[in-house]
Amino acid sequence: MASFQLTTHEKIAKATEKCELKVQAVPFTRRNNVNAVWSIAFSPDRSRFAWSSGNRRVQILPWNALKNLPIADPANLIVPDNNNNDHQQEDHREEDSDNDERMSCDGGSLDGEYSDGEAEWIQPKTIECGDIVLSLAFGSSLPHKKLRTSNVKYRMYDHSNTKLMLAIGLKSGKIKTYDIGKDATLHLMDHKDGIREMAFNPDGSLMLVSASADHTLKVWDMKDDGNMVKTLREHQKPVISCSFSPNGKVMASVGSNKMAILWDMTSSITLIHRLIGHHHDIVGCHFSTDGALLATASWDARVCVWDPYTGEVLQQLHHVFPPLPTVFAGGANNNFVRGVAFSPDGSHIATVCDDKYVRFWSLWETSDPEVVYPLENALACTYSPDGAVLAAGTRCGQVKFLEAPMKVNKLQHMCRLSIRRMVQDTRELPGLRGYLPGEMLRYLAYKDIYTEYEEEV
């Protein structure tokens, strides 16, 4: 068995490491996962980075959007030698005995940092959670919408002017939400088991969805004191991940029942259909930047790229070659894919796998990844909002920040992204047949990336 199809890892470009966050805690063992970084998150405004930093706590760090580095304690931030020249402190700062302000390795202040484009002083924040942290999610709000179903004006927790909120999912089933602007905490309690993943609706409504090992998803309205709107029970086994489409109208959820479920989130929150094609537990899902594609990561050593509206699998990204027959893909194959993320420009997919590699796949060339990085015990990955950096968390309590491959997209693809943002549902494309030629409609439906596969039983 090999990790790559046509070449070896020595011949594939290696991603550049920008820096590493490391928790100062007890030594890592497989039985002791208290230090594991199960979740990492960037704030949508590029001002903060949050990670489950071990010992049942969460750290919210200022993010230097110009250098694409976190502002952290030098004892916990390791910068490789090839980056030292860019991040050395100025001599006069070290010689100034009157300046007792602590500095990070990249020249930022540990006591605060101005956010990008705002006259706001950002303070690092450590949140003691009292339980193992399994998931994190940032949410941001727009001006508070008028309540249509109630005339009640009073709210115990007024989030009408909230700019940023962090939700923290715990192993006990509790959710802790932290209003960053008001420095206020609210607890949500209804799940019976660990919160494996959470996602805020990107439309600014502060509607939060939590995926739990108790086989349910719950929808919470954070602008209404965190009241629970609905419980979704279509999964018969633990729900492991969920993701919103960019317009917030569709949500995908995946779990241990080998299928993904697509939900209509516009009104009554109803099931659209199921996506069936994986042979093992599905542990991650993420929509493309235009909402036209959905990537799902599974323990069957594959990532499937779907047209979520038609249910068609357009691509399969295999992490072992030759591809595993179904009978082996559904068992312990030592090549579990742990996480997946679409790049913000829609041209790459990043994955982390138990074979000790982070992979960056091009959407148009999937025989082998474009760039790789060796990393053991990886659990999660996510892109920074601008797509320049990929953060990957591990079991041993570290977060690696890697330079992500970025290329100027073709004008043709950029036009496709613009059109699909307006027409996300592929089933609506035939309505444009009188205005666009058939070959262009085929391109808009991403048929140019479609690859047929014959699976072994």
Residues with Cβ within 8 Å of 5's Cβ and at least 6 positions away in sequence, in order, are 318, 321, 367, 368
CA 314, 320, 321, 326 torsion: positive or negative? Answer: negative
pLDDT of residue 27: 54
The Cα-based distances of 306 to 42, 77, 257, 451 in angstroms read 25, 38, 17, 11
Q: Which residue has the tokens 């046509």?
A: 6
Integer angstrom CA distances of residue 51 from 43, 117, 135, 159: 11, 23, 9, 23
**Which pLDDT does position 121 carry in this prediction?**
62
Q: State pLDDT tens for residues 106-150.
A: 445 445 554 444 435 678 899 999 999 999 999 988 533 333 333
Supply the pLDDT for residue 162.
57
The residue count of the chain comes to: 457
Q: Say whether pLDDT at 161 is over 70.
A: no
Q: What gap in Å lies between CA 450 and CA 120, rounded to an integer?
A: 46
Q: Is 321 left (phi over 0), alpha (psi -120 to 50) or beta?
A: beta
How big is the CA angle at 390 (ends 248 and 176), to the nearest 5 degrees? 55
Is residue 245 pLDDT above 70, yes or no? yes
Whole-number Å distance between alpha carbons of 47 and 2: 40
List the structure tokens of 386.
């601008």
Q: How far apart are the first and last CA of the chain?
A: 17
Q: Sort 276 into a burial class: Cβ within 10 Å, 0-12 / 13-18 / 19+.
A: exposed
pLDDT value at residue 344: 94
Task: Compute the average pLDDT of residues 17-32.
Answer: 70
Q: What is the pLDDT of residues 256-274, one digit of tens each?
A: 989 999 999 987 899 999 9
Sign of the torsion formed by the C-alpha atoms of 159, 164, 170 and 173? positive
Residue 421 φ/ψ, nearest 5 degrees: -65, -30
Token pair belonging to 286 = 């993420």
Q: What is the model's pLDDT at position 154?
A: 41
Q: What is the pLDDT of residue 77?
A: 87
* Core vs surface per residue 421-445: b (16+ CB within 10 A) or e: eebbbbeebeeeeeeeeeebbebbb
pLDDT attached to residue 142: 58
Please tell me the distance from the alpha carbon of residue 37 to that of residue 379, in angstroms, as a whole number: 7
Question: Each residue of 26-40: pLDDT tens digit?
Answer: 555 555 567 899 999
Is the per-residue pLDDT at 103 higher than 70?
Answer: no
Task: Provide the pLDDT for residue 9.
Answer: 80
pLDDT for 456: 52
Which candidate, 246, 247, 217, places its Cα nearest to that of 229?
217
